[in-house]
Chains A and B, each alone.
Chain A
Amino acid sequence: MFGYVQPAPDKLTAEEEQRYRALYCGLCHTLARRYGAVCRMVLNYDFTFLAALLSGTIGTENRRCIAGPFKKRPVACENPALDLAADVSILFTYWKLRDGAEDSRGVRCLGFQAAGAAMGRAYRRAAGLHPALDAAARRELERLSELEKAGCPSLDEPADTFAALLSSVAGEVEEPVRRRVLEHLLYHLGRWIYLVDALDDLKKDVESGNYNPISLRFSLKDGILTGQARDVVVSTLDASIRQMAAAYELWDFGVWSPIIRSTVYQGLYCVGNAVLEGTFRAAESRRGLRGKKEQV
């Protein structure tokens, strides 16, 4: 997962925004408690959104944090949904790193291997807790790597691997209606993340010769998406977001509803647009710098 899933800030009240922050911090604390401080690193917005989907009612408490040690902030309390979100974060990140190590060469490959090794213990624990999820991750990544090797020119087929994997998280939910809603929502979330990531990496992949389904689907020589091809990608991304929104409306997500609503009716469209226009990465690095300045 890559940090693409964000709510739309202008659609949240101050209270809702604070709840989102509390959830983010809660997931961070849960990762540290269950897997050690280093594993805080895997935290990102996508997993925070997953936590919002999985959570029922959660209380908050005021706690300090290593990112801002001088001021206590509200943090979501320990609860099974956050635990599950943390376990899923560890599993997916580990497999993503393994996958990255296989796909890259040289220093980058070493970097992936080192990061993967550092997470080895955390991964074994998470896999022991959720063997079905771990098996699904292994299976789907193998399927994806076969498709990559074969140079599959479809958008849906490779996207189906990550979509099915994310959808399998719903299997951990007891309530049957909620499980069905989440299965569908998470399937399209996974599909959307996979395709947006492919769109984001399009130029880079074409230059380096890596597998990219969008480039193959439209036989793009230069990695530039224009005209009809662009319309097709946009329309299929929009269609997946509409599926998520339609699924969201069929379950009451309680206090997390505003966060999910602003994500599936606006946030995802905005991120998709920024990726399409090539402004997403720029905004990301700008934000990184600003964050560091604030720390100083």
Chain B
Amino acid sequence: MNDPYKILNVPSTASDEEVKKAYRELARKYHPDNYHDSPLEDLAQEKMKEINEAYDTIMRMRGSGRGASSNPSGAYGRSASGYGGYGSYGAQTDPRFREIRAAITRGDLHMADHLLSILLEHNGEWYFLKGVICQRRGWLDEARRNYETACQLAPGNMEYAQALERLSSSAQSYRPEGYEVFTSGCGDNMCGRLACAYCLCNAVTCGGVRFFWC
């Protein structure tokens, strides 16, 4: 295994508190919620496993018996367990949709979309799965519309509500400290300072490019 300190990006002289802090930051970064329905989910899962192992190794090496048994943050849990395919919902699922969920989990979006298209009855589950397929493809606006319809048709369903929440709220996702701007606006008018900063080789570029594009 690689150097666990390097994985957590702390010096080997770091205090327990510093190690914990570094671990938490990384766990927030690679949290399953940030990669749900992303085609890169498996890569994030590997990262999460790596940092969990590094943290456990360090704690074990320091011999204080605070390894796997005492995770520093209940909130993030052994977060890797949060990763999972759609098969895991199989038990509560209408059998017709089970095959579609399996296809999505395999990454076979074409097949999943085809199977959906031949179903005539469009219920909440149908719209939810359509939304998942859209989201995997990066069609985020259509994904949101489908999730919204799913939630309207099946108001109490937590799975659909969570999918919609994850897609529409930017507040919960990871940001490094000090980055707080959104497209809708920003705290202390940092946006005002935007464009003036880079006056690179203006003579050639701004004139030239604007000439072409304006």
Contact = CB atoms under 8 A, between A and B. Distances in A.
Interface of A: 2-3, 6, 8-11, 20-21, 24-25, 28, 40-45, 65-68, 93, 97, 115, 154-157, 160, 163, 177, 180-181, 184, 187-188, 191, 217, 231-232, 234-243, 245-247, 249-250, 261, 265-267, 269-274, 276, 280, 283-288, 290-292, 294-295
Given A10-B190, A67-B202, 15 more contacts: A40-B208, A65-B201, A115-B212, A156-B141, A187-B138, A188-B138, A235-B168, A235-B170, A241-B183, A245-B174, A246-B44, A284-B210, A287-B202, A290-B202, A291-B206
A274 B204 contact: no
Contact of A235 (B44, B144, B202, B211): B144
Contacts of A25: 200-201
A156 B183 CA distance: 18
B176 A265 contact: yes
B139 interface: yes
Contacts of B137: 160
Interface of B: 29-30, 34-35, 38-40, 43-44, 47, 134, 137-142, 144, 167-168, 170, 173-176, 178-179, 181-186, 190-191, 193-213
29 contacts: A2-B213, A9-B194, A11-B179, A24-B200, A40-B205, A41-B211, A45-B198, A65-B201, A66-B204, A67-B201, A184-B138, A238-B182, A238-B183, A239-B144, A239-B168, A242-B173, A246-B35, A246-B174, A249-B29, A266-B179, A269-B181, A269-B182, A270-B181, A273-B186, A276-B184, A283-B194, A290-B196, A291-B207, A292-B207
Contacts of A242: 34, 170, 173
Contact of B138 (A24, A154, A191, A284): A191
A288 B206 contact: yes
Contacts of B168: 235, 239
Contacts of B184: 231, 234, 238, 273, 276
Given A2-B213, A41-B208, A43-B204, A9 B193 contact: yes
Contacts of A231: 184
Contacts of B134: 156
A41 B204 contact: yes
Contacts of B182: 234, 238, 269, 273
B144 A154 contact: no
A231 B140 CA distance: 14
Nearest to B179: A265
Contacts of B202: 67, 287-288, 290-292, 294-295
